[in-house]
Chain A
């Protein structure tokens, strides 16, 4: 069955996709430019029998989501820079206690209160490392309204599959723009649910995994009385300081994500097959890059776009292949250098890296990227 074509706003698409993915709980807090997600879900969730709550602050919103996920719901919260900073502690709690949840950060100018209604891409490193401690993180970056829809569903699926939080990271432009969107029919995508335990209550070990490194889940109130704590814990869920147990858990948490590279890592290659120059860009910047590429191609410059879709884990293997092929990679970001460090690490001197960095609150214009491309042809 085909999808339906609608004019949709990015944030609106996120809300609808969440419901399509099976989300039945949203806890959030108003913050520009993400409030539309909360508002849309405040309207839609009760119709579906789902629960919506506006909590007293961003920290409480993250906490309530985790509590509801422990109660068995698929949960979503949405915020922007200042709220994303507040959520970090509880985000780490969810990583460590392996509670699935999806967190949307619609990036705006920062730091601090910054530019509430202007785009930026300044939270990329924070999305990876914002919460303290050694931890993995899955971060997806859509660049269109349709892609917000698809990646919201993907975020829920990966979160359930890996029992880890997934961050959906896009900028204010993508969130607020309205585009003609073909909303997929449910038959066109699959839904993944968290692995349920098949053991008896007495034998259940909440943090013991099979070979897939993911422990089986049971929601509270089902007759399995277990302990969840943010303290370092053993397979029973009880606090421990045993060095072997602590390290084993850490390694399993990282493996859980790393071993699923196939399912998680994604990128888009646009006109890269014959490219001499590659542009590396994500989010709204990638859209400008595409426009720049079309113009450059008319000028005879063989340029293409490498667009990471998963920012973390970073598409290193894929980018490395490209490095040997091109004479320059123009990294365009709406920040003063964040993902470029990953590009640099992966490229490892194989080719020239050209930075185009903008932090004015304005999207990068295709002309600006084109200028950088022309200079290095």
Chain B
């Protein structure tokens, strides 16, 4: 039986996520992935933005940074440049990471900086009461699409691939063991790793759109027609290493 307790901040638990929220399931997969890699908690930093998934950083016993909406990757870029030996994991959501944060996602991928970005996609802005997000399916109802969503949703994995991401993957909160392996592989990958993790918001989004019970919503994730698993894995010069190369060049050593 896995000992999750060694990784969480006891004084902050239990967490604030609604009953049945997929985020808690993903958190457990993340903790198991870290354990798989035998990483020291001291050498892990988690950086998040604003939203339900971004609350994750408060619960994990490592170096944690809860920043401004959409900007986690930019903060993480500075932190990683300052401390390249620290494993930096970025936690974001579909709103935080793709709407306000979309630009930073493009450039973190473009730079191929060694960060692992986990995007918890529950297709809604849950924390603020259920507003439409860039991944909300068409026609669904939300507080800001009360007559049905008229905007198209998009595939963040294709965006990251287009921006040059060297590790792009998709998992679901339901298939939690493959997810754990994906996360571990993403962390291990040297370069920018992006994992879109399909999650659920049964309490707000699910209830408003009659998507079923928390269990049904989780099980439905397995029926996604989107490709899952590792979608791309290539290698390219990693940004912090290239930076060191520039320093060597400037100092006449390289």
Contacts and interface: CB of A to CB of B under 8 A. Distances in A.
> In the complex they form, do A and B come into direct contact, defined as C-beta atoms under 8 angstroms apart?
yes
Interface of A: 25, 27, 43, 46-47, 49-51, 53, 55-57, 59-61, 63-73, 75, 89-90, 93, 219-231, 236, 238-239
Interface in B238-254: 243, 246-247, 249-251
Contact of B66 (A47, A57, A230): A230
Would you list the 5 A-B pairs with minimal beta carbon distance, nearest first?
A71-B82, A67-B78, A64-B78, A46-B250, A63-B74
A75 B77 CA distance: 14
A231 B66 contact: yes
B41 A70 contact: no
B66 to A, nearest CB: 4
Interface string B22-65: 00000000000000000001110101000000000110011111
Contacts of B6: none
B85 interface: yes
17 contacts: A47-B251, A49-B251, A53-B77, A56-B107, A57-B103, A60-B71, A67-B81, A70-B75, A71-B79, A89-B68, A93-B67, A221-B43, A222-B42, A226-B63, A227-B9, A227-B57, A230-B68
Interface residues of B, number: 41
B76 interface: yes
B131 to A, nearest CB: 19
B5 interface: no
Contacts of A226: 63-64
B103 A225 contact: no
B12 interface: yes
Contacts of B250: 43, 46-47
Interface in B78-114: 78-83, 85-86, 103-104, 106-107
A236 B64 CA distance: 12
B251 A63 contact: no
Tell me the interface secondary structure of chain A in the complex: mixed
Nearest to A236: B11
Nearest to B250: A46
A323 to B, nearest CB: 42
B103 A70 contact: no
B41 A228 contact: no
A314 B41 CA distance: 45
Contacts of A229: 57-58, 65-66
Contacts of A25: 78, 81-82
Given A47-B250, A63-B78, A220 B68 contact: no
B77 A66 contact: no
Contact of B81 (A47, A49, A53): A53
Contacts of B75: 63-64, 66-67, 70
A75 to B, nearest CB: 8
A68 B79 contact: yes
A70 B83 CA distance: 9
B45 A46 contact: no
B251 A67 contact: no
A296 B107 CA distance: 57
Contacts of A60: 71, 74, 77, 103-104, 107
A55 B247 CA distance: 18
Nearest to A89: B68
Contacts of B11: 236, 238
